[in-house]
Structure 1
Amino acid sequence: MKLIVTGGNGFIGSEICRQAISRGIRVVSISRRGAPKRREPWMEDVLWFKADIFDTHAWKGVLEKGDQVVHTVGILLEKRKKKLTYDRMNGESVITVAHTAAKAGISTFAMISASDAPPFIKGYIQAKRKAEEYLKNQPFRSMIFRPGFVYGPGRKGTAFIAALTRFGLRIPLAGKMLGAYAPVHVSHLAAAVLESLEKPEIQGILDINAIRRTAQTVSGREDHT
């Protein structure tokens, strides 16, 4: 049995791959760019499979019965000329991978979703919610992670935004508005995902608080908000 990470060379996906390798898990990343341009020692232990996630015939052969899948593919801003829309990347990509994974007999499917999104990118969250509904009716155990604002060293400027958000959370009126965007460090999110994969009793939606609690059982650290 192995772990398949779609979008494994991205911000969240690469951290999941890194931590999975440290746990001794066999890891396969599927992404259109293949291996990351940067090189780190742990990357040598990942099988970097280069393929378009929508071309299922190109990658479905890496799936085996019992495998676990973590889907991290998604976009924050649309690029319609390149067909990178919310519906396609945040919704259809999940459904495509989940359908293919179900046919292969995988045991668990985890999706990186989001707690909420600002009104001006309403389509972002609508597409993710549509994908979440699809997962509820599949034969495998599904887990939907809904973090707030994910920050970390792999994404420039996010630590500053996270600090501002934490400050805003302390202000009564602003705190109510910003609650859905409470910062979660990418390493804590990855730890929560991997820990949840190992516990068959965990399934369904994991909100910001559940992600923190699960991550703390691994690291003993707290993501202060």
Structure 2
Amino acid sequence: MFRLTKSTFSLCRFSSIAASRNPRFLCTDPNKTDEPFKVEEAETVNVPPPPSEKLLVLGGNGFVGSCICREALGRGLTVASLSRTGRSSIQESWANNVIWHQGNLLSDDSWKDALKGVTSVISCVGGFGSNSYMYKINGTANINAIRAATEEGVKRFVYISAADFGVANYLLQGYYEGKRAAETELLTRYTYGGVILRPGFIYGTRRVGSMKLPLGVIGSPLEMVLQHAKPLGQLPLVGPLFTPPVNVTAVAKVAVRAAMDPVFPPGIIDVYGILRYSQQKSYKSSP
């Protein structure tokens, strides 16, 4: 009896409160029926899907660039490439999924159309020759690309540079001066979104015309030995010669991560950093 009385009291109390808040909730007139609740339809808002990540690889048909394109496609990214020759000669299925652009970073501005809709850039542009030629290819061409990417609002820029090799820096003066000039420009323009990778000797299966050069035969054993000999790199004059080689797949993996992972630290990543990041678990790119 007590439980029934208590339940009845609770029900009456709930009804009175509800009626005070909404007169239509409970009707006391016996000649009228309760009006049903009127639920207004929520306004439909067209929310656009998250923007897709589009990566532009400068020099995407080269040894390192082609590996980067393949790695990025494996991450589900939209991948474009810009180079002087355009489409790669590689006859593999993944190459059909790359948007190939032809252009010269040292000439007119027609190549800038390739930056439309791009969220990140990875530059593998570089070359050898006379000092003046090496400075233009390694320095001026990349500086032009960095400035154009800034103007287009590209969020992140990764530059494949080169480790210091002591005496070699003097023998290839234009090469290294161009590289360092491009690095300075990148760190100035992209304080929070610029990453510089400084690998040493990059090995892997390299194509030269119709031939394939298995550089891993030399590079892989050297990497296994020298990656644990970091203190030797501090020796005067000869120290840089102990810089360990790195696999092209590792460089590609870290470059793509640096271009697409917003928490990847900006700045200069040496060969030991490249080896460390390449061994970490893969990140998941944004949808």
| TM-score interval, normalised by the smaller of the two chains | 0.7 to 0.9
Unaligned regions of 5+ residues in structure 1, if any? 220-225
Is the 8 Å Cα contact of residues 134 and 175 (structure 2) preserved in structure 1? yes
TM-score (norm 1): 0.85
| Equivalent-residue separation in structure 2 for 1:149 and 1:7 (angstroms) | 18
Q: Give the structure 2 partner of residue 55 of structure 1.
A: 107
The separation in 1 between residues aligned to 2:220 and 2:278, in whole angstroms, is 20
Matched with 2:272 is 209
Which letter maps to 1:110? V
Task: Please say if 1:10 is aligned against 2:59.
Answer: no
Structure 2 residue runs without a partner (length 5+): 1-52, 208-212, 283-287
Question: Do the aligned residues in 1 keep the contact of 2:54 with 2:77 (CA within 8 Å)?
Answer: yes
Q: Is the 8 A contact 1:168 1:178 kept in 2?
A: no
Q: Tell me, what secondary structure is at the counterpart of 1:18?
A: helix
Relative to structure 1, the CA distance from residue 208 to residue 171 in structure 2 (aligned partners, 3 Å threshold; closer, same or farther) is closer
Separation in 1 of the partners of 2:145 and 2:230? 41
Q: How does 1:1-225 map to 2 (within 5 A)?
A: 1-64=53-116, 67-75=119-127, 77-79=128-130, 85-117=133-165, 118=168, 119-139=170-190, 141-154=193-206, 156=213, 158-162=215-219, 165-166=222-223, 169=226, 176=235, 177-178=239-240, 181-201=243-263, 202-218=265-281
1-side partners of 2:97 and 2:146: how far apart?
Answer: 25
Q: Which moved more, 1:56-65 or 1:2-11?
A: 56-65
* Letter of the 1:24 counterpart: G
SS of 2:189's equivalent in the other structure is coil
8 Å contact kept, 1:192–1:211? yes
Q: Give the residue type in structure 2 aligned to 1:162.
A: G
- Aligned partners of 2:77, 2:65: CA distance in 1, in Å? 15
2:122 is paired with a residue of what secondary structure? strand
* Aligned partner letter, 2:205: P
Distance 2:231 2:267 in 1: 30
| TM superposition score normalised by structure 2 | 0.68
Amino acid at match of 1:132: E
Q: Secondary structure at the match of 1:102?
A: helix
Deviation at 1:122, TM superposition (A): 3.0
Cα offset, 1:204, TM superposition: 0.7
Whole-angstrom CA distance in 1 between matches of 2:230 and 2:269: 25
Code of the residue aligned with 2:141 in structure 1: it is S
SS across alignment from 1:34: coil
Q: Do 2:223 and 2:246's aligned partners in 1 also have CA atoms closer than 8 Å?
A: no
Note the C-alpha offset of 1:22. 0.9
Q: Look up the equivalent residue of 1:5 and give its one-letter code.
A: V
- 8 Å CA contact 1:165, 1:178 repeated in 2: no
Q: CA deviation at 1:63?
A: 1.5
Retained in 2: the 8 A contact 1:195–1:214?
A: no
For 2:59, the aligned partner's letter is: G
Percentage of identical aligned residues = 33
Question: 1:38 deviation in Å?
Answer: 2.4
* Residues 17 and 163 of structure 1, relative CA distance in 2, 3 Å threshold: closer
Aligned residues: 215
Secondary structure of the 1:217 match is coil
Q: Provide the rounded CA distance (Å) in 2 between the counterparts of 1:66 and 1:51.
A: 16
Which shifted more, 147-156 or 4-13?
Answer: 147-156
In structure 2, distance between residues paired with 1:188 and 1:208: 10
Equivalent position amino acid for 1:181 in 2:
T
RMSD: 2.6
* 1:134-171 alpha-carbon deviations (Å, 9 max, x no partner): 11111561100011111101252532442574488488
